[in-house]
Amino acid sequence: MKRPGLSLDWPMEPVHGVAQQRCSWQRGLQMQRSGEILIMEKEVAQSLLNAKEQVHQGGVELQQLEAGLQEAGEEDTRLKASLLQLTRELEELKEIEADLERQEKEVDEDTTITIPSAVYVAQLYHQVSKIEWDYECEPGMIKGIHHGPSVAQPIHLDSTQLSRKFISDYLWSLVDTEW
């Protein structure tokens, strides 16, 4: 006896059509997945290229920053050397200023003590000797006018040619000894 469904006489077309559809559907699915994988591979490749470009740009920026840092370091060294030099000059100027202040103090003392006494002595000499000195004559020359008892007499002596003793004796000889 023959069982239904087990017979080889049944037509296989419907099963074969389903298998073909299934195979066609699987091919379509595989092609769709292949396309998706290809798109994802392109996206990953593009991301990788972008990342490499960013790394390259970062390297270029790093080199620029390092060069800038090098220049800033050199400028810092120059400025420190300049600051040191200026500090030394400032110290020298402070020393000069202190010295000038000391000299000014000495001059002030001279003008308040020495000059008035020198003026007094000069006036006293003038009254005693009656000699009006020419302070603008050449160095080494002694010039002036002696206002004697009767007549004014010019004085013109060369200290390079005459001895100090002679000059002193001559000037004292002009002074009137009668009081």
| Model confidence pLDDT, tens digit, residues 78-92 | 999 999 999 999 999
Segments forming the whole domain that contains residue 152: 131-179
Distance of CA 34 to the CA centre of its chain: 68
Structural domain includes residue 43: no
pTM summary value: 0.38
Domain count, the chain: 1
Q: What average pLDDT does this structure show over 42-48?
A: 93
Between 89 and 128, name the one with better pLDDT.
89
Structural domain includes residue 26: no
Q: What average pLDDT does this structure show over 117-140?
A: 84
Structural domain includes residue 50: no
CB 151 within 8 A of CB 130: no
Above 70 in pLDDT, residue 35?
yes
State the pLDDT at residue 161.
94
State the pLDDT at residue 124.
84
Q: Which of helix, strand or coil describes residue 152?
A: strand
Structural domain includes residue 165: yes
Structural domain includes residue 163: yes
Q: What is the CATH number of the domain that holds 177?
A: 3.30.160.570
How far apart (Å, rounded) are the C-alpha atoms in residues 175 and 128?
7
Above 90 in pLDDT, residue 150?
no
Q: Which helix (H) or strand (E) holds 143?
A: strand 141-147
Q: What average pLDDT does this structure show over 29-42?
A: 89
- Arithmetic mean of pLDDT over the chain: 85
Which residues are CB-neighbours of 146 under 8 A, at least 6 positions away?
Answer: 129, 130, 131, 132, 152, 153, 154, 155, 174
Percent of residues, the chain, with pLDDT higher than 70: 88
Structural domain includes residue 172: yes
Q: Which residue has the tokens 């000699």?
A: 131
Question: What are residue 157's DSSP bridge partners?
Answer: 142
Structural domain includes residue 74: no
Structural domain includes residue 121: no
State the pLDDT at residue 100.
94
